Amino acid sequence: MSDTKGARPTAAARRSRTVLVSFLGAIVRKMGNWMPIAGTVELLADAGLDASSVRSAVFRLKKRGWLVPETRAGMRGYALTPAALEALAAGDEVIWHARQPADLADGWCFVNFSIPESARPLRHQLTAHLTSLGFGNIGSAVWIAPARMLPAAQRAIAELDLTDQCALFAGDHVGGQDLTAMVRGGWDLDGIDRRYREFIKDYEGEADRFTAAAVIDGRHAFVTYLSVIDHWRKLPFRDPGLPSEVLTDDWTGPAAVRLFERLVAALEGRALAHAAAYWSASAQPKPEQPVQPKPARATDGAG
């Protein structure tokens, strides 16, 4: 399926893209930042994606500036661009280490903005950025997050050239509305916790089986590992890492993090070994001298 001008991507197209992005981050970077297209199609078929979906997702990421065609040892494939590597690296701290609870004593960061109706798309972009950074909405154009998010908010606002339309504050809660009630009204904490519980329900049994197994099939390890990464990487971005004092005692975030780390420990090595068979030995870079992708243009690294 090719992109149609003005058409919204289907659910299947979105899934193909997210699985491919997970594959790039978790597998391709470990293989020298390059992937053979034929091997990728075969591997992702095991994950439930057909060849046309994979190729369409590759095409979209190529248009986005993430992939450039590159042939190695006679194998057609794609290399990750500096822009892709930068974007994947930016998500690593959240995806692989999750947001640890903030220290309540560090205070809060507030963002207030006044963007005219004529610039509505920019307003939507800003709120999307703030949401992905873990900000919650507590009033008309007022967003709040733990104080540690101030530098990230400043960068997001500057990137959109909205500095003159925004006001940023950092400080403590000293009175007035109950802090816990305000925080719980600013985020869909029940929704976030529900997704953590769903992750635990979906994968806890698998983790037990993998831990007990003497031998783990490589294909099964790869498919499960990619599924775990693709499922998990969306969750920490929704979690603002709020201080434990404002969360319920049965908050499941820490338990979900422990399960994720357990699954990665059990599966990552086997999944990579299985995937490596789809890379020609002559096409793989030497571990001590990883091959870097060729920049498409001098400004790719700027995103």
112 and 153 in contact (C-beta within 8 Å)? no
**Burial profile 132-150: b = 16 or more Cβ within 10 angstroms, e = fewer:** ebbbbbeeebbbbbbbbbb
User: pLDDT digit string (tens) for 68-94?
Assistant: 999 998 899 999 999 999 999 988 877
Structure tokens at 219: 């294909």
Task: Note whether residue 281 is domain-resident.
Answer: no
Q: Round to whole Å and give the CA distance between 6 and 30.
A: 35
How high is the pLDDT of residue 239?
A: 87
Q: Please tell me the distance from the alpha carbon of residue 192 to that of residue 184, in angstroms, as a whole number.
A: 11
Span 239-296, pLDDT tens digits: 888 999 999 999 999 999 999 999 999 999 999 999 999 996 544 444 433 434 333 3
Q: Has residue 81 been placed in a domain? A: no
What is the count of structural domains for the chain? 2
259 alpha-carbon distance from chain centroid: 18
211: domain range? 189-274
Q: Is residue 116 part of a domain?
A: yes
What would the DSSP string read from start to end of the chain? Answer: ----TTPPPPHHHHHHHHHHHHHHHHTGGGGTSEEEHHHHHHHHHHTT--HHHHHHHHHHHHHTTSEEEEEETTEEEEEE-HHHHHHHHHHHHHHHH--PPPPGGG-EEEEEE---GGGHHHHHHHHHHHHHHT-EEEETTEEEEEGGGHHHHHHHHHHTT-GGGEEEEEE---SSS-HHHHHHHHS-HHHHHHHHHHHHHHHHHHHHHHHH-SS--HHHHHHHHHHHHHHHTTHHHH-----GGGS-TT--HHHHHHHHHHHHHHHHHHHHHHHHTTS-TTTSPPTTSPPPPPPSSTTGGG-
Q: Please indicate, yes or no, if residue 178 is contained in any of the structural domains.
A: no
Whether residue 157 is found in the same domain as residue 193: no
Query: Is there a domain that residue 295 lies in?
Result: no
CATH number, domain with residue 122? 3.30.70.240
> Does the residue 264 lie in any domain?
yes
Residues 124 and 201 occupy one common structural domain = no
Are both 130 and 202 inside the same structural domain? no
Q: Of 85, 88, 91, whose CA–CA distance to 301 is shortest?
A: 85
Same domain, yes or no: 158 and 199: no
Tokens at residue 90, please? 């930016």
Asked whether residue 207 falls in the same domain as residue 245, the answer is yes
In a domain, 232, yes or no: yes
Give this prediction's pTM.
0.79
Same domain, 260 and 207: yes
CA distances from 126 to 111, 133, 153, 161 (A): 11, 11, 9, 10
- What proportion of the chain, given as a percentage, has pLDDT over 70? 88
Pair 243, 207 in one domain: yes
Evaluate whether residue 115 is within a structural domain. yes
Q: In which residue ranges of the chain is pLDDT below 70?
A: 1-9, 97-99, 280-303
pLDDT of residue 172: 93
